[in-house]
Amino acid sequence: MKKRVLILCTGNSARSQMAEGFWSKYGDGAWEAQSAGSSPAGYVHPLAIQTMAEIGIDIRSSRSKHINEVSGQNFDLVVTVCDKAKESCPMLPGAKKRLHWPFDDPAAVHGGEVEELQTFRRVRDEIAASVRAYVSASPTPRRADSGQ
């Protein structure tokens, strides 16, 4: 049985979308990842899509969604990736464990194109390292066909 993770952010346009992409990649089929926001932007940030594509993860088909779309579901883990989401997201009674990983908001940087891209890449890499470390330290669910 797959473990389920929900990644929450305020806008669900960048950090949580990137984290969902990494969880799907690094979870190696053992995790089902979803993301949502308390005040969804209604789109996935183009620089989030671009910087994830640079490393071979396609999040073009992802969409920004409200936490209400996932309320009532059970999750093994809920991860908030911004302070506002930690403060504003409701208690999810179906969540077995909660973590808070506050990452800078790359969409809040308003400089030139180079500065914005650098910020998205830095935050992307920080999220990747956190997800990879967590997934590699988590026991993998046993599969019926694995002989275990």
- Among 18, 36, 82, 85, the active-site one is 82
Catalytic: which of 70, 78, 89, 128?
89
- Residue 133 a catalytic site member: no
Burial class (CB in 10 A: 0-12, 13-18, 19+), 13: buried
Q: State yes or no: is 59 an active-site residue.
A: no
Residue 116, φ and ψ in degrees, nearest 5: -65, -45
Assign 75 to helix, strand or coil.
Answer: strand
- φ and ψ at residue 125, rounded to 5 degrees: -70, -35
Scored b (16 or more CB within 10 A) or e, 42-52 reads eebbebbbebb
Among this protein's residues, is 41 annotated catalytic? Answer: no
What tokens appear for 31 in the block?
A: 């995790």
Of the candidates 6, 7, 8, 9, the residue annotated as catalytic is 9
Are 91 and 80 in contact by the 8 Å Cβ rule? The answer is no
Residues with a catalytic annotation lie at 9, 82, 89
